[in-house]
Amino acid sequence: MRVIMDAHLHSRFSRATSQNMNVDELFRWAKYKGINLLGTGDFTHPFWLTELEEKLEEKGDGFLHYKGATSLSEPIFLLTVELSCIYSEKGKTRRIHLVVFVPSFSAAHQLNELLARRGNLYADGRPVFGWSAKELTKMILETVPEAIIVPAHIWTPWFSLFGSNSGFDSIEECFGELAERIYALETGLSSDPPMNWRLSALDHYALVSFSDAHSPSNLGREAVVFEVNAERFDYPLLVEMLKEGSPKFRQQNSRKPSYLDYTIEFFPEEGKYHFDGHRNCQISLDPEESKKMNNLCPQCHRPLTIGVMHRVVDLADRPAGFAPEGAPSYRNLVPLNIIIAESLKQQPKSKTVFREYLNLVTQIAPELPLLLDVLPEDLQGKTAPEIVEGLKKVRAGEIEKVPGYDGVYGVIKLKEAKENSSLRQQSLF
C-alpha cells in the first residue's frame, strides 16, 4: 500500500496564510491531491486545537480521523506543528525552525501546557520561543517521549539548521548529544536529495520533503511516499519507517516490508532561495558568480542573500552527482494546475484552469497519483490535447528553469510555451 504524507503546513491561525486553511478544506484538498496522511499544522494554537478536536477523532492508531469521512481509504491526519527558536549562541543570533509530530490530543495538550509558560500560543500558529533548539528538543522529548522532531527546511538562509544567516555547520553543533534523537531532516523547497547527498554527515538521517503549504492548493507540492505492507498502519510504524529511512541504516540492514520509498520534490530551482541574490536590485547569481563578487551585490554593493545552493557547496564533502548507497529515490513533479495553465495559456488561478483541474482529479485520478502513475495516452479524449502534450513534456524533462533567489520564487516553464506568462513568480499562498 502506498501512503503519501505531507506533514508540514499551516492553519489560518498562522501569519500570511489563507483563511481557507480549515479542517474541512484540508480534508477536501487532501482528497484532490491524493494525500493519505496530512499534518494538521499549528496544534499549539488554542483555537486551532479546539477546531481539530471538534472535527477529528482518535481511533487508537496515533492518527486523527475526519468525522465526516465516508470511507476508510479517505485522508487521515497527524498532529503537527512548526516551532521557531530565536536565541543567541556563540556570539551569533540563531533562528531554527522545528516540525514536531505527536500521537494524540493528550500529548498535544501536555506540550502546549509546557510551551505556554514561555510563549504566547495565541499570537501565531507557528509560535516563537527564546529557547535553543537543543533546549526545546530536550523539553519536548521529556514531555512527550514519542514525539518526532524534524528540523525544518534545513538550508533556508534565515530560519534553519544550516541557514547561511543564522544556522550551524553541523547537526551536532546545534543539538549536541540530542542529535541522535533526530531521525529525519526536511530538505525544503530550494534543495533536493542530490544536493543533500553531497554532505556525508546527512547519511545518518532520513531526508523528507513537505509542502509548507499556506493555502490548500499548495498541499502536496512536496511529500514523502511510504510503501506500507503491514496489517496496521499506525504512528509507531511511521516512526519506525523514519528511523530506518537513512542511507546509513539501509547500508547496514535489510529492508523491511514497510519503508520510506521516495520523496516528491519541487524542482529545487523553483524554491525562493535556490540561488544567491538581492531582490531589490533584481540580481540573481550562482555560487561561483557570487564568490567572484565577494558575495556583494554588483549593483548596490550590499551583502547578497546567500542561497541554498551556495550553502550546500560550502559544506559539501562530496562532488555533485554523488548518490549514497541505500538512499531513497525521488521524483520531481510540476503541479497539475501549472501544467494545465501552461498548456492552455491561462493563469494558474483562473476559473478555466480550476475547472479542468477538478475534472481531472475527480474523473481520472487525484493529482499526485495522476502525475506519478497515469500515462499521457490514457488521458486522450478525456482532456484537451494540449494538456496531454504538456504532461508528456514534463515526463520527458522538457522544461525551462529560472532559479529563485532572495525570497523570489523560481519559474518552471514548459519549453513549448515560451511566450506564456502563467508561470510568473508564485505568491506565498
- Pick the last residue of a domain from 269, 291, 307: 269
Mark whether 265 and 340 lie in a shared domain.
no
Q: In terms of domains, do 344 and 246 share one? A: no
Mean pLDDT by groups of 10 residues along the chain of 429 residues: 98 98 99 99 99 98 95 95 97 97 99 96 98 98 99 98 97 98 98 99 99 98 98 97 98 96 97 98 98 97 98 98 98 97 95 98 98 95 96 94 97 70 42
CA neighbours closer than 13 Å in the CB half-sphere of residue 231: 0
245 & 346 share domain? no
Instruction: Say if pTM beats, i.e. exceeds, 0.85.
Output: yes
- Please report whether residue 265 resides in a domain: yes
Set of cell numbers at residue 22 = 480549515
Domain span at 79: 2-269
297-319, pLDDT tens digit by residue? 999 999 999 999 999 999 999 99
Question: Which amino acid is residue 41, in one-letter code?
Answer: G
Cα distance between residue 14 and residue 123, in whole Å:
8
Number of domains in the chain: 2
**DSSP-assigned states of every residue in 82-126:** EEEEEEEETTEEEEEEEEEEESSHHHHHHHHHHHTTTS-TTT-SS
Q: Are strands 76-89 and 64-66 parallel, antiparallel or unpaired?
A: antiparallel
CATH number of residue 366's parent domain? 1.10.150
pLDDT digit string (tens) for 338-353?
999 999 999 999 999 9
Whether 354 and 232 map to the same domain: the answer is no
Last residue of some domain: 269, 290, 308? 269
The last residue of one of the domains, among 231, 251, 269, is 269
Q: How far is CA 40 from CA 21, 23, 57, in A?
A: 10, 8, 13
* CATH number of the domain bearing residue 119: 3.20.20.140
Question: Is residue 230 a part of any domain in this protein?
Answer: yes
Nearest of 295, 129, 95, 260 to residue 183 by alpha carbon: 260
